[in-house]
Amino acid sequence: MENLAKNILIPLDGSKNALKSLDYLDLMFGPKHNLYVTLLYIWPLLPPVLTDEKTMDKEIWVKLTTVEKKNVLMAERILAVGKTALVKKGFDEKRIIELHQRQKVGIAQDICNWANREKTDAVLLTRRGRTDLETLFMGGISDKLVNYCGNYPVWIAGGGIHEKKVLVGVDASENALRAVDHAGFMLSGTDCLVTLFHTV
């Protein structure tokens, strides 16, 4: 099991805090682990009133095209920063994929849809990747991810993590056994200390 490749999706948003998920990846797995990492950036949608073809004139269309080009450049820059950070930590650049796309439904839903479509083993992100004001408008992506992904594995790293320890809460449910199975698969081949915790 420990030689099986693991595919991890890491959404980035351009903030320094979002890059902490890369530090977590390095701490828990390291560059020698059999990992494939996908860095994903979702561009935000423009308000519908600005993109309505019935009311849009040529001047607005030109401006929107310019905005879209800027979004692409920003996405490429954000993803390049993430990839460079991983390469500096020793990760193989051939195993790092950079992807960006326009928001389709909602940022959290788009991340979950991509992860399900590509059969990613886990989604990893930090709890708050944006400033307080931006988080207010974004609606808390990490919270929405947990809701939308349902039974899909989402790892949310928060605060400073300096030790290779994992706590897995268990009960008699099938979901708890799935969590244990997932932790066993993801952490196989690492030297992480795993604690199974059950409350009576």
Average pLDDT over residues 116-135: 73
Q: Where are the domains of the chain?
A: 6-161, 163-200
Share of the chain above pLDDT 90, in %: 44
Rg over CA atoms, the chain: 19
> What are the tens digits of pLDDT across the range 32-53?
999 999 999 998 766 554 555 5
Dist CA 149 CA 141 (whole Å): 12
6 — phi, psi (to 5°)? -120, 135
Dist CA 43 CA 52 (whole Å): 18
Dist CA 130 CA 135 (whole Å): 6
> What are the tens digits of pLDDT across the range 153-200?
889 887 677 889 998 989 988 888 888 999 999 999 899 999 999 988
Q: Which residues pair with residue 10 across a beta bridge?
A: 39
Average pLDDT over residues 86-95: 96
pLDDT in the model for residue 22: 94
Could you say which of 3.40.50.620, 3.40.50.300, 2.40.10.120, 3.40.50.1970 is the CATH number of the domain covering 6-161? Answer: 3.40.50.620
Share of the chain above pLDDT 70, in %: 81
pLDDT in the model for residue 134: 46
Dist CA 14 CA 29 (whole Å): 23
Task: Indicate the pairing of strand 6-11 with strand 96-102.
Answer: unpaired
Q: Which residues pair with residue 35 across a beta bridge?
A: 6
Dist CA 31 CA 155 (whole Å): 19
